[in-house]
Amino acid sequence: MRRKLITIRDVAEHAGVSASTVSHVLNGNAQHVGDVKRKRVLEAVELLRYRPNAIARSMVRQQTATIGLVLTEIDNPLFIPVVAGVEDVLRPAGYHIVLASSTDVESEIQAIETLRSQQVDGFIFMSLSLCYPIDHLLHLKDEGVPFVVINRCMDDPHINQISWEDYETGYAATSHLISLGHTRIGTISGPIHNDPPRRSAIERHRGWQQAMQDHGLERVQEWQVEGYYTYEGGYQAAQHIAAQTRRPDALFVASDIMAVSTLKAMHEAGLQVPQDMAIVTMGDPPFAAYTVPGLTTFELPVFEAGQEAARIVLNGLTAGQPTTTQPIVLSCRLRIRESCGAQLTPGKTLPHLSP
């Protein structure tokens, strides 16, 4: 039972003016209001602790200054910096986040429905690069609602999307190992054979493949194991690799999460990282510097992705129509720590080829 609200009319009455005058003062059209009355209005606002009702404003303005944020896997740590980035640009612009988490296409569609009935002005979708069907997104586009999709498989060039250089980074990571003198290089990948598949997993793996090929190195089938982007998956994949008689001496592990458990598996198998097994990975969460050994990894600019996403949606909003921007692909920076060790054969560094 909410107490009686203080309305604009209460303020008007108190200040001895009309409601529209109060509205003018409060909405910056103050130049059209005389000094005396403006002052009186402001005083009344203060006195009554008046707080404009954003709902009512939304009704007449036909916009809510609210963005729907749909998170497909709320338990992924990556989404924290995304939210932070989104907030970072939305808040100064006076926009708010309405959150909805979904688990699959069905609940995503559901989330869109309810958020739309909430009249959100735009959407940001953050998934883990799952290649879901996108009909409902296209439908959104048809209706003129601006939205952007982060880290998701989207072939349609008319959809605003933000992702990371997965292929390039897979390539660069592998090249890094090669430049250190490694030639027997395996990889623990994300879920590439799942349905729906993960774009990022496929791309990162492709980067590894191409780098190996470009440097004339053998891609041993047994050295390519899926770790499904999970701790347990990475753990088992690493065990599988460690158990082989003919082992790789370096590993491109496609995510930090899997790299952590790879470290454990190697330790348990009696293999030293980086001496027996060099490891390079991707992500750079806060703990990456504090594993034993510290993880050499490529930092994913996740916060920036959130910022960009918010900016694009905001643009679409002010443009008066959904703008389609070039897909944005953010690059990842290499953070060298300990898991790759030193160069194996000093002086014999290979030049990094471009993918």
Query: Could you tell me which of 212, 290, 216 has the C-alpha nearest to residue 251?
Result: 212
Binding of its own copies by 59 (CB under 8 A) = yes
7 binds, among its own copies, DNA, none (CB under 5 to 8 A by kind): DNA
95 binds, among its own copies, DNA, none (CB under 5 to 8 A by kind): none
Supply the minimum distance, in Å, between the C-beta of residue 337 and DNA: 53
Binding of DNA by 21 (CB under 7 A) = yes
Binding of its own copies by 350 (CB under 8 A) = no
3-state secondary structure of 10: helix
Q: Report DSSP state, residue 100.
A: E
What are phi and psi for residue 218, nearest 5 degrees?
Answer: -75, 135
Tokens 């009704």 sit at which residue? 59
Q: What torsion, rounded to 10 degrees, do the Cα atoms 183, 188, 190, 193 define?
A: 90
Of positions 47, 74, 329, 350, contacts its own copies by CB under 8 A: 74
Supply the minimum distance, in Å, between the C-beta of residue 36 and its own copies: 27
Binding of DNA by 31 (CB under 7 A) = yes
User: Any idea how long the chain is?
Assistant: 355
Supply the minimum distance, in Å, between the C-beta of residue 321 and DNA: 18
What is the 3-class SS of 226-279, one letter each residue? ECCCCHHHHHHHHHHHHCCCCCCCEEEECCHHHHHHHHHHHHHCCCCCCCCCEE
Q: Which is nearer to DNA, 117 or 245 (CB)?
A: 117
Total residues binding DNA (CB under 7 A) = 32
Region binding DNA by CB under 7 A among candidate stretches 16-24, 76-84, 276-284, 329-337? 16-24
Pairing outcome for strands 160-164 and 147-150:
parallel
Q: Which is nearer to its own copies, 58 or 194 (CB)?
A: 58
Q: Where are the beta strands (DSSP E) in 50-195?
A: 66-71, 96-101, 122-126, 147-150, 160-164, 185-189
Cβ atoms of residues 101 and 112 within 8 Å: no
Q: Which is nearer to its own copies, 87 or 276 (CB)?
A: 87
Binding of DNA by 8 (CB under 7 A) = yes
Cβ atoms of residues 229 and 191 within 8 Å: yes
b/e map 31-56, b = 16+ CB within 10 Å: eebeeebbebbbebbeeeebebeeee
Q: Which is nearer to DNA, 34 or 144 (CB)?
A: 34
Supply the minimum distance, in Å, between the C-beta of residue 333 and DNA: 44
Of positions 59, 74, 80, 99, contacts DNA by CB under 7 A: 59
Q: Which is nearer to its own copies, 219 or 337 (CB)?
A: 337
32 binds, among DNA, its own copies, none (CB under 5 to 8 A by kind): DNA
| Assigned token pair, 38 | 């403006």
- The span from the CA of 236 to the CA of 271, in Å, is 15
Q: Looking at residues 100 to 119 of the shown chain, list those that interact with its own copies (rule: CB under 8 A).
A: 100-101, 113-119
Binding of its own copies by 246 (CB under 8 A) = no
Q: Could you tell me how far CA 42 lies from the centroid of its own chain? A: 42
Binding of its own copies by 2 (CB under 8 A) = yes
Q: Give, in degrees to the nearest 5, the angle at Cα 186 between 184 and 187.
A: 160
Binding mask 142-161 vs its own copies (x if CB under 8 A, - otherwise)?
-xxx----------------
Binding of DNA by 353 (CB under 7 A) = no
Residues that bind DNA (CB under 7 A): 4-5, 7-9, 16-24, 26-27, 31-34, 36-38, 50, 52-53, 56-57, 59-62
Binding site for its own copies (CB under 8 A): 1-3, 5, 51-56, 58-59, 62-64, 66, 69, 74-75, 77, 79-81, 83-84, 87, 96-101, 113-119, 121, 143-145, 231, 235, 257, 260-261, 263-264, 267, 286-287, 289-292, 294, 320-321
